[in-house]
Amino acid sequence: MLIGIVLAVVVLYGLILVANYSSRPARIGVVDGKLTPCPDSPNCVSTRSTQSEKWMPPLEMTGSTEQAAEKLKAVLESMPGTRLVTQSENYLHFEVRSPLMRFVDDVEFLINPHQKQIDFRSASRIGYSDLGANRTRMEKISRKFQHSP
């Protein structure tokens, strides 16, 4: 029994170390005016995915690019464990750290003022399945964004 507990603690500690020291993926950002595609693993959702299980509708925007960016920042900064990493005129990249295991997910937004929409991509840095965490997060962000002034 004691060996099982020690083994569980060692595995948990290893997972926490991996989560805390996972580096930013190379395939992130905007390429040819679009967010990078989701990986083959099921731990990603995107407005640009061609796979129905990974697809979500873009956010509808009103106002200017600057107003949309400020609104996105307000929504995400109200969520615990979220940190803005990169911001340009129409692109925002956040890191979102899970509370217990400290896993990092990358959440990106690309504001398209001419289409009056915001594309997004939310993906786990490590692991295979996220048990729907990225989809749940983006559904919450979408609701908050659409209902905030």
CATH of 2-147, one of 3.30.9.10, 3.40.50.80, 3.40.50.2000, 3.30.310.80: 3.30.310.80
Residue 40 φ/ψ region, left for φ over 0, alpha for ψ in the -120 to 50 degree band, beta for the rest = alpha
Structural tokens at position 35: 């967010």
Sign of the four-CA dihedral 65, 68, 73, 76: negative
- Spell out the SS3 assignment of 71-111: HHHHHHHCCCCEEEEEECCCEEEEEEECCCCCCEEEEEEEE
Sign of the four-CA dihedral 47, 51, 54, 56: positive
Q: What is the pLDDT of residue 21?
A: 46
Q: What is the pLDDT of residue 7?
A: 55
Residue 86's DSSP bridge partners are 93
CA distance 87 to 74: 14
CA distance 69 to 32: 21
Q: What is the pLDDT of residue 6?
A: 52
* Percent helix, strand and coil across the chain, each to the nearest 5: 30, 25, 40
The model's pLDDT over 70-97, given as tens digits with 9 standing for 90+, comes to: 999 999 999 999 999 999 999 999 999 9
CA distance 142 to 22: 27
Of residues 47 and 129, more confidence is placed in 47
The model's pLDDT over 3-16, given as tens digits with 9 standing for 90+, comes to: 766 554 444 444 44
Q: What is the pLDDT of residue 18?
A: 44
| Over residues 99-117, mean pLDDT | 92
Of residues 100 and 92, more confidence is placed in 92
The model's pLDDT over 28-82, given as tens digits with 9 standing for 90+, comes to: 899 999 999 999 999 999 999 999 999 999 999 999 999 999 999 999 999 999 9
